[in-house]
């Protein structure tokens, strides 16, 4: 546990916030800094085929320690943190044996309270790692990186645990939807893999949202406000009216489970021009298509009622539900479920209300469900993770490696 914690602290100290405004890969220099550190760590662990390319993709292999033919598997995590909250100068704090009540973050300007986050009550007596209230923590997904490398070190220290080839992949820019864009599958010949990028203890996910981004540009007409009557068209007013008429109940804060949504993530503008940016999410492909059609029809209706077309819609699909690519390989899920149970974790199979590198990789021919890391409240100042849950994640990965051998021999 001490090595697991020290790894995690080392990784979160590096600012790896991704930035979708930049087209380069990785989008930020901090990700390359972390990749270089991890590259040295993989070499020091004595792993084979350690390769860090110019795009920031880092891969390596733990060689099999059995002569039995065992399918090669992989573990994958991403190095970047979310672009919408600061990950600079992260100062994690350790709350040992949490006894309940509010946790002061840093100097106590911000608090982590069970009134606001009832899930805290599940962690009485456990060691919690929190932020200082000024940044995110970065457990998404540096906890996954720390857990993977600790699991590899555990396997190396226990050669009696037999395993096949295990490939490791650390990717950039997952948080901005590019993590799989340049993934080097030629260096990663695993039969299947697991992203270690989930939330609470026991999460096991093999279906995710279908996702798209909708950008709506609104063109106005700017003139001097003193002579504006009948001439000025304020694009900001049109944009606000458009959003106010969107389905109120179909937003992230009003939906759960398999319910989809429209989410306004950006609104910029001036009198002359404004931009609304929505993300569209739905599990069902037909409903996903209907959501895109809904926006297209609304833009047409608004243009029809104006003096001239002033709304322009651009739709860009991001990723698809991986269920259709993973479900035919049910043994992948079965192995993960059994591994969790053997280490005392109850599997919590649920859909991902988001996406992972695994969704894209599954469609690229690498079936890739998602495993828990143990964290909560990602992408914000109230993020926290249980050290005991992280330890269970490590044990689960070790068990998956072992059970892959067992499952192969039983077949």
- The angle at the Cα of 391, spanning 330 to 184, to the nearest 5 degrees, equals 55
127 included as an active-site residue: no
Report H helices in 222-284.
Answer: 235-244
**CA dist., res. 252 & res. 263, Å (int):** 6
Q: What domains appear along the chain, each with residue ranges and CATH number?
A: 2-207+321-410 (3.40.630.10), 210-319 (3.30.70.360)
pLDDT at 376: 97
Is residue 293 left, alpha or beta, with left meaning phi > 0 and alpha meaning psi from -120 to 50? alpha
CA–CA gap between residue 209 and residue 123 (Å, rounded): 29
Q: Of the candidates 151, 138, 105, which has an alpha carbon nearest to the alpha carbon of residue 11?
A: 138
- Alpha-carbon distance 181 to 171, whole Å? 10
**Does the annotation count 80 as an active-site position?**
yes
Q: Distance between CA atoms of 364 and 156, rounded to whole angstroms?
A: 30
CB half-sphere exposure, 283, CA atoms < 13 A: 14
Total residues belonging to the chain: 411
pTM over 0.75: yes
Q: Quick one: tokens of 191?
A: 């039969």
- From the candidates 15, 127, 140, 174, give the one annotated as an active-site residue: 174
Alpha carbons within 13 angstroms on the beta-carbon side of residue 55 total 17
- How many other CB atoms sit within 10 Å of the CB of residue 267? 14
Over its C-alpha atoms, the chain yields an Rg (Å, rounded) of: 23
Which pLDDT score, from 0 to 100, does residue 25 have? 97
Identify the pLDDT of residue 162. 97
Using DSSP bridges, classify how beta strands 110-112 and 273-282 pair: parallel, antiparallel or unpaired.
Answer: unpaired
User: What residues of the chain score a pLDDT lower than 70?
Assistant: 409-411
Both tokens assigned to 53? 């390319």
**Which pLDDT value is given to residue 77?**
98
Q: What share of the chain is helix, strand, coil (3-state, %, to 5)?
A: 35, 25, 40
Describe the crossing of helices 29-44 and 2-12 by its angle, rounded to 10 degrees.
150
Which residue among the candidates 15, 41, 80, 147 is catalytic per the annotation? Answer: 80
> CA–CA separation, 98 vs 109, rounded Å?
19
């Amino acid at each position: 546990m001490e090595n697991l914690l020290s790894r995690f602290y080392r990784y979160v100290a590096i600012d790896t916030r991704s930035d979708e405004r930049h087209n380069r890969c990785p989008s930020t220099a901090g990700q390359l800094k972390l990749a270089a550190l991890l590259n040295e760590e993989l070499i020091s662990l004595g792993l084979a085929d350690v390769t860090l390319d110019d795009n920031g993709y880092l891969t390596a292999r733990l060689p099999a320690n059995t002569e039995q033919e065992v399918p090669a598997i992989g573990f994958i995590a991403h190095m970047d943190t979310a672009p919408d909250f600061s990950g600079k100068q992260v100062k994690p704090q350790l709350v040992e044996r949490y006894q309940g009540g509010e946790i002061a973050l840093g100097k106590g300007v911000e608090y982590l309270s069970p009134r606001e986050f009832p899930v805290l009550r599940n962690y009485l007596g456990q060691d919690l790692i929190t932020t200082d209230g000024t940044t995110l923590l970065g457990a998404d997904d540096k906890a996954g990186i720390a857990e993977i490398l600790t699991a590899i070190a555990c396997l190396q220290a226990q050669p009696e645990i037999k395993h096949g080839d295990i490939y490791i992949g650390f990717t950039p820019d997952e948080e901005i939807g590019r993590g799989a864009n340049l993934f080097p599958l030629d260096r990663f010949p695993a039969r299947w893999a697991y992203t270690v990028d989930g939330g609470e203890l026991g999460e096991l996910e093999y279906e995710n949202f279908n996702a798209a981004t909708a950008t709506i540009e609104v063109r106005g007409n700017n003139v001097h406000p003193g002579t504006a009557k009948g001439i000025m068209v304020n694009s900001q007013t049109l944009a606000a009216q458009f959003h106010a008429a969107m389905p109120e109940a179909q937003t992230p804060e009003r939906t759960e489970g398999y319910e989809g949504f429209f989410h306004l993530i950006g609104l910029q503008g001036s009198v002359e021009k404004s931009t609304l940016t929505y993300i569209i999410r739905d599990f069902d492909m037909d409903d996903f298509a209907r959501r895109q059609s809904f926006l297209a029809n609304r833009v047409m209706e608004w243009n029809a009622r104006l003096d001239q077309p002033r709304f322009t819609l651009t739709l860009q699909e991001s990723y698809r539900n991986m269920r259709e690519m993973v479900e035919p390989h049910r043994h992948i899920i079965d192995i993960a479920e059994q591994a969790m149970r053997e280490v005392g974790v109850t599997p919590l199979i649920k859909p991902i209300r988001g996406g992972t590198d695994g969704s894209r990789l599954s469609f690229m021919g690498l079936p890739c469900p998602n495993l828990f890391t143990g964290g909560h409240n990602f992408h914000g100042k109230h993020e926290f993770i249980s050290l005991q849950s992280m330890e269970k994640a490590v044990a689960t990965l070790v068990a998956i490696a072992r059970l892959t051998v067992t499952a192969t021999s039983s077949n």
